[in-house]
Chain A
């Protein structure tokens, strides 16, 4: 407890200092901000660009959004360490260890879970009914969308044929269209999607909670910059202007409060690290 408080105080101090220094340090530098592909790039940009503008204004750091077409593409870029900052939960995969992204912020909202869902009208009642069927998943790189539900299926001995929709909303779209009978999804993304797209669905299985996607920074990014960014984003929900932006962005994808991010560390995501050590799913990307 004391250690944490101390750490926090140190961070705050550093943040305060760097806040003073940030403008001088970060004026001419542009850093890339990669986002795991969960939806269309346009929606992603509509969500993140206002936030990044806010960060630029507050922290003096210009962050350029990098959105990939599909989650695997995002993961490939993440694996290669192309992004300076990244908003993704796949950084805890073993193959990402090389890039060594370090968490700096976590969402204020609750943890997310992985779910296997089906349309309300579907005859499927339990995951056992899915035996031998095709089940949709965002992508092989998706954590709560693929790894977690698939792990559950494997542990229960249900053999399914995975179908990949590119990203979260991609497969949700296929579910909605009836192309897949069930899908593995991120519960929050699913909720947002369903609210937005007016889809009635049933949860067949739900995983234990995992924290939602963190914002992480590559080691190459200067500490001052990192701190500046962290401080700026952390303080958004205290700032009316920042809050307005958060709310606007949330409304684009149907995100529910609490909004915004809180400073965090790698330790907050230990659960992910542990999963990856034990999972039966071998082909996630």
Chain B
């Protein structure tokens, strides 16, 4: 039974239930009705009998009194022809019996029907009494046949109607269901369509309100489904694209990384094999350049990863804007000049003198933007503008929103590329990469840095109409007094007067020790070496030092521990500077917590070391002078011919840029020299001076220190209009120029 019901479709269930209910109810009603009719018939019969027995004697009285039996018989005979009467008897007092039997009228009902419903004849008798005297007894029998037959036919009629009702009901329900459930079929088909991936499958609403609602909900669900799936697909595509871009980038980067690395290895091999010290030094120098290039690339990648991982911190230190501009001008000036592109810095008058921020990161962003501008501009100008947009109080305190913009008249950027400009791993187009090189991360890093600093970055451009890259930062104005006292300007090859200063160098690694010693030696500082923390503590106890350079990771005792011991021993005022490869601010705090005063990251930069030492050892660095009296500076051989790494580092690690500048130098330097010669011959000291100055600038950019000095000497001589001095400085200058050019070529060859 359960199984049967389960297999029944909805329409059938309804039909079965309705029909069964109707039949049962109908049958019950018919049965009850028939029973009631039988009871009514019986009562009627009894009533009729009673009535007849009341009236008939009176009707017969006349004839009975007269004693006219024949008439009486006739009367009885006529009487039994009446509908219900079937028998009439009269029994006279003298015993005469008159009887009449009526015919059966009509089709009788089936015997079972009569029995079932209790249709029975009704009999009764009444005496005929006239004037108090009984003349006889009248007996009547009424037959139930007619009522029974009527009831029987009525029953048949009722059953017929019931049947009709069931049939009509059946048909009606079936029709309503059949058409009413159509929407379900459509829903079914639409659901199948959806399941098969036809996401646009919908159903037009029709039918009863409940089904309309269902269809409406279905459509909404389908809509949501479609949107979600399409969204997922889109995201998938984007992720795929990003993944592909990343893979591509990694493929590119591995090339970019491997190239300098190979060069380094190659140069090292050459250095090992080279018999000549000078050659060895050249190779090592070039290797250093390649290392710095590699460092720049790796810094870019690491920076980017750090930012993406949310682990890059923005420092908050007071710094001045003006020196930053000067610095940038120095870096890019020669480069721009070589390309024949004018580089201008427009710093608004209303700019605050000092602001809180991360000068390093700001510089990084500007380096990238300006570098790009120069890279992509063949002629015209690059204008760097810094201006406040609005400030609450430019004077002493408050916030200013500064807008930095770099506008160039370069090749411009197509509209479709503008959108992806700040995306990682993309450059203007593939051809851009080939022409201009680069990792493609510069702008991406720049954007993220700007955003980390709470600002916004953007670009406007049109092909052939140049570009404007801008970013805005909210900056808190810092009091001027908070600026560090030591000037920031990086001058190459300057030597402070640190005579007599003693520095304890604590470093376990020999190579790093070599580098530090080199740098410190250049600065004319007396060095004592310790190779671990324990030795350092002992040294401090034995001898007096002006400053300690403490490596952090060392065997036996590390730097933190050594510092704590030294502090505990009572040397609270002794400046201890930490040297560590970790660049995270966490380590900075760790150093400070241990009792160190400052923090230097490795690899050591000469400039950074110099600045830091200047801060902690005091004393202004002397102005750049090629004074031979300064022992560390007198040796030309010690001055670098080509410090490519540093130059590249100053370019934000953009080795490609360096190569381009080198290219420009190699093309432009001879021209400048020719101009110089012509000017000298013509007695045009101004032009000669300008030419010398130009070469000096380029040399500085390239990290060609010696050439820079020579050009500087020449420039000074021209400035003094001292022909003799010019003549004296010229040969050295020309020689150095040739050497530098050769060195550059060698570097480029090695780099590849």
Do A and B form a real pair? Answer: yes
With most chain B CB atoms within 10 A of its CB, the pick from A46, A52, A53, A68 is A46
Q: Does A113 contact B (CB under 8 A)?
A: no
Instruction: Please list the 3 inter-chain residue pairs (A to B) with the smallest Cβ-Cβ separation, ordered nearest first.
Output: A49-B131, A45-B130, A41-B65
Task: Report B589 CB to chain A, min CB distance, Å.
Answer: 143
**How would residues 27 to 65 of chain A score, 1 for a CB under 8 Å from any chain B CB and 0 otherwise?**
000000000000011101111111011000000000001
29 sample A-B contacts, Cβ–Cβ < 8 Å, listed by A number: A40-B62, A41-B61, A41-B62, A41-B63, A41-B65, A41-B66, A42-B62, A42-B130, A45-B61, A45-B133, A46-B130, A46-B131, A47-B131, A49-B133, A50-B131, A50-B132, A52-B133, A53-B132, A53-B133, A65-B65, A65-B133, A66-B67, A67-B65, A67-B66, A68-B66, A69-B62, A69-B66, A69-B68, A249-B131
Distance of A49 Cα from B68 Cα, bound (Å)? 18
With most chain A CB atoms within 10 A of its CB, the pick from B62, B66, B67 is B66
Specify which of A45, A52, A53, A249 is in contact with B65 (CB 8 Å cutoff). Answer: A45
> Which residues of B in the span 21-74 have a Cβ within 8 Å of any Cβ on A?
58, 61-63, 65-68
Closest to B131 in A: A49
Distance of A88 Cα from B337 Cα, bound (Å)? 178
With most chain A CB atoms within 10 A of its CB, the pick from B63, B65, B67, B133 is B65
Q: Which residues of A contact B67 (CB under 8 A)?
A: 66-67
Q: Is the CB of B132 within 8 A of A42?
A: no
Distance of A40 Cα from B60 Cα, bound (Å)? 12
Q: Is the CB of B61 within 8 A of A42?
A: yes
Closest to A66 in B: B67
Task: Report B221 CB to chain A, min CB distance, Å.
Answer: 97
Q: Is the CB of B133 within 8 A of A44?
A: no
Q: Which residues of A contact B62 (CB under 8 A)?
A: 40-42, 69
> Which residues of A in the span 88-144 have a Cβ within 8 Å of any Cβ on B?
none
Q: Which residues of B contact A48 (CB under 8 A)?
A: 131
- What's the interface size class on B, roughly? 10 to 19
Q: Which residues of B contact A45 (CB under 8 A)?
A: 61, 65, 130-131, 133
Q: Which residues of B contact A50 (CB under 8 A)?
A: 131-132
Distance of A53 Cα from B131 Cα, bound (Å)? 9
- Count A/B pairs, Cβ under 8 Å: 42
Distance of A40 Cα from B59 Cα, bound (Å)? 12
Distance of A53 Cα from B130 Cα, bound (Å)? 12
Task: Report A266 CB to chain B, min CB distance, Å.
Answer: 29
**How would residues 250 to 285 of chain A score, 1 for a CB under 8 Å from any chain B CB and 0 otherwise?**
000000000000000000000000000000000000
Q: Which residues of A are at the interface with B, using a C-beta cutoff of 8 A?
A: 40-42, 44-50, 52-53, 65-69, 249
Closest to A69 in B: B66
Q: Which residues of A contact B131 (CB under 8 A)?
A: 45-50, 65, 249
Closest to A249 in B: B131
**How would residues 124 to 167 of chain B score, 1 for a CB under 8 Å from any chain A CB and 0 otherwise?**
00000011110000000000000000000000000000000000
Distance of A89 Cα from B293 Cα, bound (Å)? 175
Closest to B68 in A: A69
Q: Is the CB of B65 within 8 A of A44?
A: yes
Q: Which residues of B are at the interface with A, using a C-beta cutoff of 8 A?
A: 58, 61-63, 65-68, 130-133
Distance of A44 Cα from B63 Cα, bound (Å)? 12
Q: Which residues of B contact A249 (CB under 8 A)?
A: 131
Distance of A191 Cα from B601 Cα, bound (Å)? 162
Q: Which residues of B contact A67 (CB under 8 A)?
A: 65-67
Q: Is the CB of B65 within 8 A of A42?
A: yes
Distance of A45 Cα from B63 Cα, bound (Å)? 11
Task: Report A249 CB to chain B, min CB distance, Å.
Answer: 8
Distance of A249 Cα from B131 Cα, bound (Å)? 9
Task: Report A242 CB to chain B, min CB distance, Å.
Answer: 14
Q: Which residues of A contact B58 (CB under 8 A)?
A: 42
Task: Report A19 CB to chain B, min CB distance, Å.
Answer: 24
Task: Identify 13 new A-B residue pairs, CB closer than 8 A, beyond the known A40-B62, A45-B131, A249-B131.
Answer: A42-B62, A42-B65, A42-B130, A44-B65, A46-B131, A49-B130, A52-B133, A65-B133, A67-B65, A68-B66, A69-B62, A69-B66, A69-B68
Distance of A53 Cα from B62 Cα, bound (Å)? 19
Q: Which residues of B contact A68 (CB under 8 A)?
A: 66
Distance of A48 Cα from B132 Cα, bound (Å)? 10
Distance of A52 Cα from B131 Cα, bound (Å)? 10
Closest to A47 in B: B131
Task: Report B56 CB to chain A, min CB distance, Å.
Answer: 13
Task: Report B373 CB to chain A, min CB distance, Å.
Answer: 144
Distance of A49 Cα from B135 Cα, bound (Å)? 11
Distance of A49 Cα from B128 Cα, bound (Å)? 13
With most chain A CB atoms within 10 A of its CB, the pick from B58, B61, B68, B130 is B130
Q: Which residues of B contact A47 (CB under 8 A)?
A: 131
Distance of A69 Cα from B63 Cα, bound (Å)? 8
Distance of A44 Cα from B130 Cα, bound (Å)? 9
Distance of A67 Cα from B68 Cα, bound (Å)? 10
Closest to B59 in A: A42
Q: Which residues of A contact B132 (CB under 8 A)?
A: 49-50, 53
Distance of A69 Cα from B66 Cα, bound (Å)? 7
Distance of A69 Cα from B67 Cα, bound (Å)? 10
Task: Report A73 CB to chain B, min CB distance, Å.
Answer: 9
With most chain B CB atoms within 10 A of its CB, the pick from A40, A49, A50 is A49
Q: Which residues of B contact A42 (CB under 8 A)?
A: 58, 61-62, 65, 130
Task: Report A129 CB to chain B, min CB distance, Å.
Answer: 36
Task: Report A271 CB to chain B, min CB distance, Å.
Answer: 31
Distance of A65 Cα from B131 Cα, bound (Å)? 11
Closest to A49 in B: B131
Task: Report A253 CB to chain B, min CB distance, Å.
Answer: 12
Distance of A67 Cα from B62 Cα, bound (Å)? 9
Q: Which residues of B contact A66 (CB under 8 A)?
A: 67
Distance of A73 Cα from B255 Cα, bound (Å)? 159
Task: Report B57 CB to chain A, min CB distance, Å.
Answer: 10
Closest to B133 in A: A49
Closest to B58 in A: A42
Q: Which residues of A contact B133 (CB under 8 A)?
A: 45, 49, 52-53, 65
Distance of A149 Cα from B131 Cα, bound (Å)? 33
Distance of A69 Cα from B61 Cα, bound (Å)? 12
With most chain B CB atoms within 10 A of its CB, the pick from A65, A68, A249 is A65
Distance of A40 Cα from B66 Cα, bound (Å)? 9
Q: Which residues of A contact B68 (CB under 8 A)?
A: 69
Q: Which residues of A contact B66 (CB under 8 A)?
A: 41, 67-69
Closest to A68 in B: B66
Q: Which residues of B contact A46 (CB under 8 A)?
A: 130-131
Q: Which residues of A contact B63 (CB under 8 A)?
A: 41
Q: Which residues of A contact B130 (CB under 8 A)?
A: 42, 45-46, 49
Task: Report B296 CB to chain A, min CB distance, Å.
Answer: 150
Q: Which residues of B contact A52 (CB under 8 A)?
A: 133
With most chain A CB atoms within 10 A of its CB, the pick from B58, B63, B67, B133 is B133
Task: Report A184 CB to chain B, min CB distance, Å.
Answer: 24
Task: Report B64 CB to chain A, min CB distance, Å.
Answer: 8
Closest to A42 in B: B61
With most chain B CB atoms within 10 A of its CB, the pick from A41, A52, A66, A69 is A41
Task: Report A154 CB to chain B, min CB distance, Å.
Answer: 33
With most chain B CB atoms within 10 A of its CB, the pick from A40, A45, A67 is A45
Task: Report A217 CB to chain B, min CB distance, Å.
Answer: 21
Distance of A49 Cα from B131 Cα, bound (Å)? 5
Distance of A40 Cα from B130 Cα, bound (Å)? 12
Distance of A17 Cα from B61 Cα, bound (Å)? 38
Distance of A160 Cα from B46 Cα, bound (Å)? 55
Distance of A232 Cα from B476 Cα, bound (Å)? 158
Distance of A48 Cα from B130 Cα, bound (Å)? 10
Task: Report B512 CB to chain A, min CB distance, Å.
Answer: 160
Distance of A190 Cα from B133 Cα, bound (Å)? 27
Closest to B135 in A: A45
Q: Which residues of B contact A49 (CB under 8 A)?
A: 130-133
Closest to A252 in B: B131
Distance of A42 Cα from B68 Cα, bound (Å)? 13
Q: Which residues of B contact A69 (CB under 8 A)?
A: 62, 66, 68
